[in-house]
Chains A and B, each alone.
Chain A
Amino acid sequence: MLVRDAFKTATRSLTHGKMRSILTMLGIVIGIASVIVLMSIGQSAQDLILGQVQGIGSNLIIITPGAPSNGKFSPPASAQGIVITSLKQQDVDAVGREPSVLAAAPLVTGQAEAVYGNNDATVSYQGVTANMFSIRNLSIGQGVQFTQADVDSANSVAVIGPDLAITLFGPYVDPIGKTMRLKNISFRIVGVLSKGGSGPFGVDQGTVVIIPVTIAQQQLLGTSYFNDILVEANPQYDIAFVQSRVSFVLQQDHGITDPNKDDFTIQTQADILSLLSSITSIFTLFLAAIASISLVVGGIGIMNIMLVSVTERTREIGLRKAVGATDKDILQQFLIESVLLTFAGGAIGILAGATVVTLVYVVLNTFFSSVGWVFAFPISAVILALVVSCVAGITFGIYPARQAGKKNPIDALRYE
């Protein structure tokens, strides 16, 4: 039988029982749509996270306390909540003196309640030096950033995120010059960040409070160590070279002779991107794997209906064999029917998935615009969906098709 005729015959059989075909396809439609939606959302989340990390600049090096992790996917110890006190001011100074480094700035972080009048919000605060604003490309939307003199004098001044400004002061009050309290210490607001800034690990800056590192250490944390040191590499040097130089300086500063016993971790933007990319990819695959369970259920539905169809059409099979169809012809006909069903189901599922993904994008960007959700509809997911639906058609159609092909023409013609 010509392939074109086989497709025509199969299409005719499927269109004859339209409602049955549609209901049979439904399982595959839902399965493929689920895979598409979850893969697209996973991709969007990945793009969003990686985009924010990329925003911090490619010449940024982040030093965190604690030995580097051996595992590829494990963050350094300090990022796992283990308090390590190995990064001090002398490290900042030593790294800052390195010719391949443009600037080094310490960072301490904590959480506290920010209060203004009757309004309050739980915020992450960051204690930094004045050069941190340029290192991290933080732009000020309103007011000014605090100065190094403010840092040196441990002045209680703050730059806050734009969302926090709205939360504390409302949309109509200018926060500049106003005083808010953080752990019962009054901070005068000197600036508000522009919208869309990102932290060193892609943390949203909308609700952040940035204060001089000195007052953060002395008044809020009571510590003398830093959570991180951010280093801006001199663009004239290769980032890997700068990384090795910074490492060397710190090893000298900490008296470390064996590089395997470093008490700090140096990461570049590329390292962080790689780590986050791995994590989000695994997350996306995990979601897709869950969604694919519904594909299996849909496939079993196809197999069930195809078996019923083979039984119902036993006499037809007998007739076709009597007039010259071979086992292969019959097998091919039923296999094409099941593949057409799953392929059509896959195509409809892709359209349904695209619709849902678009709706998610529109809803998130309409009602939660601060999230900055990005639209992603990976072509790989579409190709995967079509391939998977065809494979499902073959996998779940082969058994019924073989049953059809093996039928004895005499018995089939006698079937009532």
Chain B
Amino acid sequence: MIEIHDLQKEYVEEETPTRALRGVTFSIAEGEFLSIMGPSGSGKSTLLQILSFLDRPTGGSYTFQGKSIDEMTDQELAHVRNKEMGFVFQSFNLLSRLTVYDNVEIPLLYSKVLPAKRRTLVEEAVRSVGLSEKLYTEAGKLSGGQKQRIAIARALVTEPNVIFADEPTGNLDSKNGLQIMEILQSLHNKGRTVILVTHETSTAEFADRIIRMRDGVIESDNPVIKTVLYGPLK
């Protein structure tokens, strides 16, 4: 589904070039649950941004579902982001003045889904994260855990193939963090590809595979060995 080869990303800040990615190569199969770990400045967030079409690489190749990112216009990238990708951010990025319904509806506005169909999709997405009773509550009035669940509902509403989650538990307590990871796990179990960036090992180990990064290169790329009876390794 995703193939990257020798991916490079260089920023120039105040005339000083910074190489955030220095030749990253790997592939992700459809339905895989992948965690990308690494300390601050390792390049994991940059990698996620490129994988999720929010940024373009400065070198190497990136092929998504058989099509190279180099061949796609910004408008096409936006279209793929809307149809194929869902986003979960550390800081939720909900519009606090809007209701839960309106927040979850946002991606559908850009896919030109008609209002009647939108309502069904939004209600279904909110139900899937267990917050149907909050449908018309202002997003700003929700707790942190509820906000992130709504953010997941927003990521799901277009029924994307890939969910990108950037430190989704970073602003949550352990209980809420666990709930969020269980939701992501269930999405993976239903066949969705989940790509997670985190610096917490316990969170990363929900995935099937962990890529560890350091200084813009892959340090390790290993599958996670899970004990079926006791849940993920702590």
Interface residues of A (CB under 8 A from B): 1-2, 5, 9, 12, 16, 315-316, 318-329, 409-410, 413
Contact = CB atoms under 8 A, between A and B. Distances in A.
Contact of A323 (B87, B102, B112): B87
Given A410-B55, A413-B93, A327 B81 contact: no
Contacts of B110: 1, 320, 323-326, 329
Contacts of B67: none
Contacts of B81: 322-324
Contacts, number: 58
B78 A319 contact: no
Contacts of A12: 98, 102
A324 B80 CA distance: 7
A324 B83 contact: yes
Choose among B89, B102, B110 the residue with the greatest number of A CB atoms under 10 Å from its CB.
B110
A327 B78 CA distance: 9
Contacts of A321: 78
Nearest to B97: A16
Contact of B106 (A16, A319, A409): A319
A326 B109 contact: no
Given A321-B78, A324-B81, A410-B55, A1 B109 contact: yes
Contact of A410 (B54, B75, B78, B111): B54
5 contacts: A1-B109, A2-B109, A316-B95, A409-B54, A410-B54
Contacts of A325: 78, 110
A413 B78 contact: no
B212 to A, nearest CB: 23
B106 A320 contact: yes
Given A12-B102, A324-B111, 5 more contacts: A5-B109, A322-B52, A322-B54, A326-B75, A326-B110
Contacts of A322: 52, 54, 81, 87, 93
Nearest to A322: B87
Contacts of B95: 316, 319
Interface of B: 49, 52, 54-55, 74-75, 78-79, 81-83, 87, 89, 93, 95, 97-98, 102, 106-107, 109-112, 154, 158
Nearest to B49: A410
Contacts of A319: 93, 95, 106
Contacts of B106: 319-320, 323
A323 B74 contact: no
A200 B3 CA distance: 92
Contact of B93 (A2, A315, A329, A410): A315
B211 to A, nearest CB: 21
Contacts of A326: 74-75, 78-79, 110
B156 to A, nearest CB: 12
A321 B107 CA distance: 9
A326 to B, nearest CB: 5
B109 A9 contact: yes
A309 B54 CA distance: 23
Nearest to B157: A323
Contacts of A413: 54, 89, 93
A268 to B, nearest CB: 64
B23 to A, nearest CB: 21
Contacts of B74: 326-327
Given A316-B95, A322-B87, A1 B112 contact: yes
A326 B49 CA distance: 17
Contacts of A2: 109, 112
The 7 closest A-B pairs by CB, nearest first: A324-B82, A324-B110, A323-B107, A326-B78, A319-B93, A5-B109, A325-B110
A316 B154 CA distance: 14
A328 B52 CA distance: 20
A322 B85 CA distance: 9
Nearest to B95: A316
Nearest to A324: B82
Nearest to A16: B97
B137 to A, nearest CB: 16
Choose among A12, A315, A324, A329 the residue with the greatest number of B CB atoms under 10 Å from its CB.
A324
B71 to A, nearest CB: 17
Nearest to A409: B54
A320 B106 CA distance: 7
Given A1-B112, A9-B109, A413-B89, A324 B78 contact: yes
A325 B75 CA distance: 9
